[in-house]
């Protein structure tokens, strides 16, 4: 068989070193910002009982999963998301966990869907959750964390936007104005699609859902309010809508937006009636982050799910969280020029040897790569360095220095017979091109100074 006969499965990716560097760049940012906000990392099995996902999303979820029966006749599925696993883990140890539980995870997830731009069958998803804390403070915290992660990756307030809503509040508003209780599922279905359709598409949607003229008028006003910016001060359509809502609803919406404004998110976050999130388990606050140009799918989405832990056999615990996938995020970062051309790790030191045998060079490389500790092994005196060397059979210093420069190293250490006979080596600063002869016993301190200077440059 030829290599062309073997391809990565449809909807998956091969991560060669450049692609892996991008993935680690994104994951490292997620991990940094999670820890900075006080979250602890967890993980769980790649596959779970199929019933675990049915409990959360119903039997219809089965067609969207990679499921199988194991040798013990157990029905299992590759995880499509992490939230059910998180709920199971918390339910099992709820009594012993400190409150609130602040966890994050970065698992691989799998969906048996038709691949398309921004959606693959295998993807990485960052999940962040606060469990055991009710009220708007935790809601604002996870939203702020989501925004901070995108800022950490180099995006700005002009690159993405965050829309938020509240399912309970908007339910009260709809029931108080133009929607009957029996029509709520249709209302949420329509709201979720309003901004994705043009005029003709919306008319077809209204007809398919048997909307009366008064309903269509209200939906069109909602569509206008979203287009006008989602803030009462800037949106006459939203002002007219909110004037008919219960006073406690408008007060709660205004109070939460004020909280976001006080967190420095005024330019970024807007109230968006169309964001209802498709999953039925959301109980209150919901939000989505998306490309400001509207070119891509949602970057992130989540909200409050106060009844989920109880569904999995645990105590009644309020919870709020979100997920962010790597696929759409990488597309957005590339589109906005927020990814460097080369994210591969740079070497600290490049060792060049013109000696007849590699023994002394290999010993030096080994010593430089290994951290040096004090006598009681409680403190690192000298850190281990990322050291590269050439495997080419040449003693041409010029060519070897070109290879050293290509590695991104800050310093090159040159082992040559004349200097080695005196117990010395040459150290070349690859940034300012200066060269110094130093004792081999002092080489670590010399290159450390060069590395520190290059890091500040």
Query: Of 14, 80, 73, nearest to 47 (Cα)?
Result: 80
- CA dist 443 → 355, 374, 395, 404 (Å): 18, 18, 21, 17
Q: Which of 42-56, 91-105, 270-284 has the lowest mean pLDDT?
A: 270-284
The alpha carbon dihedral of 126, 142, 249, 235 has a sign of negative
pLDDT (tens digit per residue) in 199-254: 999 999 999 999 999 999 999 999 998 888 767 777 888 888 899 999 999 999 99
Helix 184-193 crosses helix 213-227 at what angle (to 10 degrees)? 40
Residue written as token pair 């309903």: 215
Burial of 143 (0-12, 13-18, 19+ CB in 10 A): buried
pLDDT in tens, 333-356: 999 999 998 999 999 999 999 999
In whole angstroms, what is the distance from residue 148 CA to residue 33 CA?
7
Q: Note whether 447 and 427 are within 8 A (CB).
A: yes
Structure tokens at 323: 């997920």
- pLDDT given for residue 279 in this prediction: 64
| Tokens encoding 354 | 């013109």
Do the Cβ atoms of 306 and 318 come closer than 8 Å? yes
271/248 Cα distance (integer angstroms): 16
- Report, as an integer, the average pLDDT of 302-329: 94
The C-alpha atoms of residue 409 and residue 309 are separated, in whole angstroms, by 50
Residue in 335, 240, 241, 239 with CA at minimum distance from that of residue 292: 335
pLDDT of residue 58: 82
| Whether residue 27 has pLDDT greater than 90 | yes
What is the rounded CA–CA span in Å between residue 4 and residue 339? 31
CB 195 within 8 A of CB 223: yes
Round to whole Å and give the CA distance between 135 and 256: 10
Query: What is the DSSP code string of 187-203?
Result: HHHHHHHGGGS-HHHHH
In this prediction, residue 212 carries a pLDDT of: 94
Helices 199-208 and 184-193 cross at an angle (nearest 10°) of 160
What's the pLDDT tens digit per position in 116-137?
A: 988 999 999 999 999 999 989 9
> Mind listing the domains of the chain with CATH numbers?
10-335 (3.30.930.10), 349-456 (3.40.50.800)
Nearest Cα to 51, choosing from 359, 313, 429?
A: 313
- Alpha carbon distance 353, 416 (integer Å): 6
Q: Is the pLDDT of residue 296 over 70?
A: no
Q: Full-prediction pTM beyond 0.85?
A: yes
Is residue 276 packed enough to be buried (19+ CB in 10 Å), middle (13-18) or exposed (0-12)?
Answer: buried
Q: What is the DSSP letter of 232?
A: G
Please state, as a whole number, how many other Cβ atoms lie within 10 Å of the Cβ of residue 335.
14
Torsion 351-356-357-360 (CA) sign = negative
| Span 152-181, average pLDDT | 94
Give the C-alpha separation, 77 to 82, whole Å.
12
156 token code pair? 């700005």
Residue 138: predicted pLDDT: 95
The mean per-residue pLDDT over the stretch 26-52 comes to 98
């Amino acid at each position: 068989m030829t290599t062309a006969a073997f391809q990565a499965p449809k909807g998956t990716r091969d991560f060669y070193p450049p692609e892996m560097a991008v993935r680690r760049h994104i994951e490292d940012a997620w991990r940094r910002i999670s820890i900075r906000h006080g979250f602890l990392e967890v993980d769980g099995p790649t596959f779970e009982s199929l019933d675990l996902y049915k409990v959360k999303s119903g039997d219809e979820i089965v067609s969207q999963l990679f499921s199988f029966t194991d040798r013990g006749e157990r029905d299992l599925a590759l995880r499509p998301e992490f939230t059910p696993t998180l709920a199971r883990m918390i339910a099992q140890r709820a009594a012993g966990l400190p409150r609130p539980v602040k966890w994050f995870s970065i698992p691989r997830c799998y969906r048996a869907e038709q691949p398309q731009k921004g959606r693959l069958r295998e993807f990485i998803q960052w999940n962040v959750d606060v469990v055991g804390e009710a009220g708007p403070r935790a809601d604002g915290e996870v939203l702020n964390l989501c925004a901070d992660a995108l800022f950490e990756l180099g995006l700005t307030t002009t690159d993405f936007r965050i829309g938020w809503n509240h399912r309970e509040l908007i339910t009260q508003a709809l029931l108080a104005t133009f929607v009957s209780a029996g029509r709520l599922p249709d209302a949420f279905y329509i709201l979720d699609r309003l901004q994705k359709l043009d005029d003709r598409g919306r008319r077809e949607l209204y007809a398919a859902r048997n909307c009366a003229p008064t309903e269509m008028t209200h939906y069109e006003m909602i569509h206008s309010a979203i287009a006008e910016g989602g803030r009462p001060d800037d949106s006459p359509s939203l002002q007219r809508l909110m004037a008919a809502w219960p006073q406690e609803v408008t007060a709660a919406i205004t109070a939460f937006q004020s909280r976001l404004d006080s967190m420095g998110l005024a330019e970024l976050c807007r109230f968006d009636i169309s964001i209802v999130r498709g999953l039925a388990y959301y109980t209150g606050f919901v939000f989505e982050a998306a490309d400001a140009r509207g070119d891509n799918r949602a970057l992130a989405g989540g909200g409050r799910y106060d009844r989920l832990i109880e569904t999995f056999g645990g105590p009644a615990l309020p919870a709020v969280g979100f997920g962010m996938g790597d696929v759409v995020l990488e597309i957005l970062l590339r589109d906005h020029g927020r990814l460097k051309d080369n994210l591969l790790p740079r070497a600290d030191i490049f060792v060049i040897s013109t000696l007849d045998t590699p023994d002394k060079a290999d010993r030096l490389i080994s010593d430089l790569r290994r951290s040096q500790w004090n006598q009681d092994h409680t403190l690192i005196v000298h850190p281990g360095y990322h050291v590269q060397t050439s495997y080419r059979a040449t003693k041409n210093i010029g060519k070897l220095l070109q290879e050293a420069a290509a590695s991104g190293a800050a310093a090159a250490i040159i082992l040559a017979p004349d200097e080695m006979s005196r117990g010395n080596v040459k150290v070349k600063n690859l940034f300012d091109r200066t060269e110094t002869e130093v004792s081999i016993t002092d080489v670590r301190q010399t290159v450390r100074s060069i590395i520190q200077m290059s890091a500040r440059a």
